[in-house]
Amino acid sequence: MDILPDETPLFRYIEGIMREEAEKYGYGEIRTPTFENTELFVRGVGDTTDVVQKEMYTFADRDENRSISLRPEGTASVARAIIENGKCSDPMPLKYYYIISCFRHEKPQAGRSREFFQFGTEMFGSESPAADATAIALAASVLSRLGLRSVKLHLNSIGCRECRPRYREALVKHFEGERSCLCDTCRDRLAKNPLRLLDCKVEACHSIAVRAPKTVDHLCESCSSKFDMLCRSLDAMGIDYVIDPAIVRGLDYYTGAVFEFIAEGIGAQSTVCGGGRYDGLVKSLGGPELSGIGFGMGITRLILAMREAGTDKVEVVKPELYIASLGERAAVEALAISERLRRAGHTVECDIVGRSLKAQMKYANKIGARYTLIIGDSEIDAGRAQMRNMETGEQSEVELLSFTL
């Protein structure tokens, strides 16, 4: 996926807001490898998930007898990193954020590409619903700063290892009665990962899922209490939400509270942020029992939502000065003045392709230079030149030796 210079200012603007907001909430940036041992994602993400079964880019390592995969998401890598680097014994909570590229072999469409860019956060070491509320508040703060007012928070709880089996039993019983109406994928999920039946987009499956038992009606006392506390915390923080039984997320490591921020008006790929709790992930990867909560935001989908909202206009950095030159001597002088001004912190361009003066002035106008300075042999000999304000047309004389902006 190519991102050209006329697009990168928007990406940098979004990434800047993400970094600022994450650091306000006490998160530090972490960077992990682009590829990992395939086993990490099989164990962490889940071998029955679509990500592992259908979407990962997996290769045999040329020099070693092992399988490696391009990362399809960031959470498993961060969990692996804190285990390998001995961070599980640090004071809790651990809070990390990242901006990475991920890879999934999916059908490209608006808001979905095989390489995509993601902002993610992970918090380890707190079982409190206050941690869930904090993660959700950070996501909401980023979306608010990006001007996305039509994004809605959808919230659910899928329970823990104690109450999930009871819900699974009720879910399987419901769908077994409609097996003949299910798509082939959902028939397979019925045995391997029945929770995924709830977010199938096939109309026949969706109509059955709407009538399915709700996870929040099958929670154990602890999960019910935590979910209630999360809702009360969000109420107190002024964060609106809807409880949506269809939110289950697609990865096996999720437990307890799960959530999505859904944007209106950007098509089928409308989830701009998704996350939840994953209390068993670190232990499943060989670490200690350590709770976790996090989310991921797809930057391309955010841009689609920003365009729909009209908040995607970002000012491109334009040169403060363009120096037009006449002749070789002036060209060398233009380079010298440009470099001196750049070292002083200014954005300056000069002719380096041998354009005529007329062509140089047209180019200066095209790139949006605020001022232009024209120098030739006579200006160099006199030590003075005329600087023109390109917006107003006003000109002023400047001393070349001491000239600054």
**Is residue 126, in this structure, part of any structural domain at all?**
yes
For residues 262 and 4, what is the distance between their CA atoms, to the nearest angstrom? 28
pLDDT of 361 reads 95
Question: Of 309, 338, 372, which closes a domain?
Answer: 309
Question: Of 277, 309, 341, which closes a domain?
Answer: 309
pLDDT of 83 reads 97
Are 55 and 72 contacting, i.e. CB atoms less than 8 angstroms apart? yes
Averaged pLDDT for residues 284-288 = 93
pLDDT of 188 reads 82
CATH of the domain at 326: 3.40.50.800
Residue 81 CA, chain-centre distance (Å), reads: 20
Confidence tier at 191 by pLDDT (50, 70, 90): confident
State the residue range of the domain holding 38: 8-163+219-309
pLDDT in tens, 325-345: 999 999 999 999 999 999 999
**Is residue 190, in this structure, part of any structural domain at all?**
no
Q: Name which residue leads in pLDDT, 195 or 72.
A: 72
pLDDT at 283 over 80: yes
pLDDT in tens, 75-119: 999 999 999 999 999 999 999 999 999 998 877 666 567 889 999
Helix (H, G, I), strand (E, B) or coil at 28: strand
Indicate whether 395 and 255 sit together in one domain. no
pLDDT above 90 coverage of the chain, percent: 65
Helix (H, G, I), strand (E, B) or coil at 296: strand
pLDDT of 357 reads 95
Indicate whether 21 and 105 sit together in one domain. yes
Indicate whether 108 and 242 sit together in one domain. yes
Confidence tier at 267 by pLDDT (50, 70, 90): low
Locate 346 and state its tokens. Answer: 């200014």
Instruction: Write out the DSSP string of 35-86.
Output: EEEHHHHHHHT-TTSHIIIII--EEE-SSSS-EEEE-S-SHHHHHHHHHHTT
The pTM of this model reads 0.87
**Is residue 205, in this structure, part of any structural domain at all?**
no
pLDDT of 373 reads 97
pLDDT of 50 reads 66
pLDDT of 130 reads 98
pLDDT of 268 reads 59
Indicate whether 42 and 62 sit together in one domain. yes
**Is residue 285, in this structure, part of any structural domain at all?**
yes
- Count up the domains in the chain and report the number: 2
Indicate whether 347 and 277 sit together in one domain. no
Indicate whether 226 and 141 sit together in one domain. yes
Which candidate, 227, 239, 267, 251, places its Cα nearest to that of 50? 251
**Is residue 133, in this structure, part of any structural domain at all?**
yes
Indicate whether 93 and 153 sit together in one domain. yes
Indicate whether 301 and 344 sit together in one domain. no
pLDDT at 369 over 60: yes
129-145 helix and 8-24 helix, angle to the nearest 10 degrees:
150
Indicate whether 272 and 355 sit together in one domain. no
Helix (H, G, I), strand (E, B) or coil at 181: helix
Averaged pLDDT for residues 55-74 = 88
Indicate whether 21 and 112 sit together in one domain. yes
CATH of the domain at 135: 3.30.930.10
Averaged pLDDT for residues 190-210 = 81
Question: Of 309, 332, 350, which closes a domain?
Answer: 309
CA distances from 154 to 82, 313, 381 (A): 30, 28, 71
**Is residue 210, in this structure, part of any structural domain at all?**
no
Mean pLDDT score of the chain = 91
Confidence tier at 251 by pLDDT (50, 70, 90): low
Indicate whether 387 and 345 sit together in one domain. yes
Range of lowest pLDDT (192-196, 269-273, 316-320, 380-384): 192-196
**Is residue 56, in this structure, part of any structural domain at all?**
yes
pLDDT of 269 reads 62
Indicate whether 146 and 230 sit together in one domain. yes
What is the torsional sign of CA 60, 62, 66, 68?
Answer: negative
**Is residue 89, in this structure, part of any structural domain at all?**
yes
